[in-house]
Structure 1
């Protein structure tokens, strides 16, 4: 391995994960492809708000620049919008796996999975562009005190000094489309999944099929309950204390818990982790 001539000989070279040449074969499936997207999304989700929150907790000065506030609003909304659609796609993946097992490799082929994931991210960021613009264009007449720990739509609209009923209506329509439509699709998908599972003769197979969906259902419940309570309501009825509590859950607590939910409840992930640790142990003891 060569060292750049401009680098100091005292510098360290970080190899990162370059020694991991491939993923565990059992985790090379559409379900885990979307889980990896969700994990990356959740990592970005918390990163968009937590650093600024920690800075504000450090001392009495609790400020964020206008540009920083707009960027935080756009990124947070984009990631939240993406998660809404991604959870619906993950439900469809479970439907295809359980209800159409023979056609599953064709339905969820690698190219289609990439297109679905790309469409999800593009849709989320496009929706955020519209909602962020509708939020920041409302004049605030010099009001600067935001009773929240990050820049969010309902809290920012509370500062507006004009009639925001049009903004509220537009944002409620977008929020309902983005939250209620995917949630309806998810619930409808699980109706078909439940019917298919009940037709399985073996109790062990029924439990296995149910267990593959349990983690996703738990994540959906945690995310949608708090998000709907925030975004499918008029900002004029927004309660600061309740708003901050709900935002804390769907913006920080839920994304933090998601990796644990999918890891601790998933036999494949735990088995892959055991194999990885065992392999590492034998390499070191040789």
Structure 2
């Protein structure tokens, strides 16, 4: 199926922790700079962009010189709180180099569940985009909880990015990952695994081909990406799952090159 993004006006880009933090735990400055260049270039062309960024935990571990994620929830929240400040500070500096203003929106699930707060956050997005400002979104890890009577966590930022795309009526969700896309089976196990170029609907076979959890710094896995694609299908949107190794590949994708896996209904 030909990929045609000529009518796309509003894009949500999701970047995972593995794209921002190197396996050593150090921040990948080159990758973040490339991402800022690409997003600023798209905005200069008149596109509206929202960035959903993981990384608070990874940044926090780096700032606090901790080698691994703490097991205690309160400590996790503290590390994420420190990391969120460090991450936004770096984003602000690097995007400023490309003359792009950024803002921060931290969400919990209850914000998008209750109509009044949903209206407020939707208005915030619209105001920022109309002013040419890049909203950078993350889950509010320092306060979100996941208890039976008070669930405020989205689960992971794959799902969060799809929900943000839904409430902002985005045309396209681009999900950057540490894999090339969706394969018919696990490419880390099977050498003959084949990359799926186009997925027109989420079937049982597609779900079964999904693996487990993601990197040691992040929380998402392939199943969460497939569930995100289903949310995009539900709103007649499009999604591209692609490798985030070179953020400039986003420009190639928008030019119609068949990189990654394209999730879109067949028309």
Relative to its length, the structure with more helix (as a share) is 1
Higher Rg of the two aligned structures: 1
Confirm or deny a common fold (TM above 0.5). Answer: no
TM-score (norm 2): 0.28
Relative to its length, the structure with more strand (as a share) is 2
